Amino acid sequence: MDTPHSTPRSPASSKIRSMNSVLSTLRVFEEVVARQPIGVSELSRLTQIPKSSVQRCLVTLQQAGWLRIVDTDLARWGVTLKVLALSLRGAGEQDLREIAGPVIKRLAEETGETVFLGLRDGDDYVIIGREESTHVVRVHLEIGQRLPLRATSGGVAVMAQLEPAELDAVLAVELTEFADAPVQTPEELREEIARTARRGYAMNMSTWYRPTVASIGAAITNAAGTPVAAVALSVPEQRWDPSREAETAARTVAAAAEISALISTV
């Protein structure tokens, strides 16, 4: 008795399926980049791809380091630092640190104070550049140090320019590692973010995270106007002169705007 055999798949059909899978993954990736944070259901609706397939695409991109879950409660997805790092690599293989380096160096020289360059990575703020103060007593953060966005003036400056849904997702994250510190409530932080948006820069004066530091932060935006990084000028509180806030803030905002213009042309 003859045993039925399934028809073998042709190499051509396998290639087509593989190509369709790649195209679906790229389509999902593009939507996450454009609309983050975003969930599986909305991605499925926008791309017309079944939810199960969307989930597979997301997991693949997560394993490759391109995407991460930014809101665990609602299972919403966003891009990682890797995406921004790649997007900033263009002509001459320049990255953000190289582009911004001369600008933050000049700001440090003009003010005599330490200037930090920080990059947003989801709910965190990563220090990627630093120009030291000329004073013996100075503010110090390690390159590569990772902090919550809300803990720094640079991070708050970034938060002040986020879309409402994305800001809500950031504020929903509980800072369990700072349970012993007097962390701002979401309401207090929203008030500070509103003040930051109105004046165009963040001002941290002896905050819960660094009680002896005064810091001014200004957001750096990409060509789409998305806040991706920030410049922060930090001064020991004992040396801070309130009468120079407007001047110092103007210099910091100008430096951030210059870097924003530079990365928009890369």
User: What pLDDT does 199 receive?
Assistant: 94
User: What pLDDT does 23 receive?
Assistant: 86
User: What pLDDT does 80 receive?
Assistant: 77
User: What pLDDT does 69 receive?
Assistant: 86
pLDDT tens string 76-106: 888 876 666 555 544 333 478 888 999 999 9
Domains in the chain with CATH codes: 11-79 (1.10.10.10), 85-175+182-264 (3.30.450.40)
Closest CA to 158 of 217, 235, 98: 217
User: What pLDDT does 146 receive?
Assistant: 83
DSSP-derived 3-state class of residue 100: helix
pLDDT tens string 105-148: 999 999 999 999 998 888 888 888 899 888 877 887 788 788 88
Report how far residue 202's alpha carbon sits from residue 192's, in angstroms, rounded to the nearest whole number: 8
Report how far residue 97's alpha carbon sits from residue 85's, in angstroms, rounded to the nearest whole number: 10
Q: What is the CA radius of gyration of the chain?
A: 22
User: What pLDDT does 19 receive?
Assistant: 65
Sign of CA dihedral 161, 164, 169, 171: positive
Q: Are 116 and 127 in contact (CB under 8 A)?
A: yes
DSSP-derived 3-state class of residue 148: strand
Q: Which letter, b or e, does each residue of 117-143 get, where b requires 16 or more Cβ atoms within 10 Å of its Cβ?
A: bbbbbbbbbbbbbbbebeeeeebebee
Judged on CB neighbours under 10 Å (0-12, 13-18, 19+), 236 is middle
Q: What is the 3-state secondary structure (H, E, C) of 166-208?
A: HHHHHHCCCCHHHCCCCCCCHHHHHHHHHHHHHHCCEEEECCC
> What stretches in the chain show pLDDT beneath 50?
1, 3, 89-94
User: What pLDDT does 41 receive?
Assistant: 92
Work out the angle at residue 221's Cα, subtended by the Cα atoms of residues 218 and 222, and round it to the nearest 5 degrees. 160
Listed in sequence order, the residues at least 6 apart from 45 whose beta carbon sits closer than 8 Å to its beta carbon are none
- Kindly state the tokens that stand for 49: 């791809």
User: What pLDDT does 87 receive?
Assistant: 55
Q: Are 141 and 130 in contact (CB under 8 A)?
A: yes
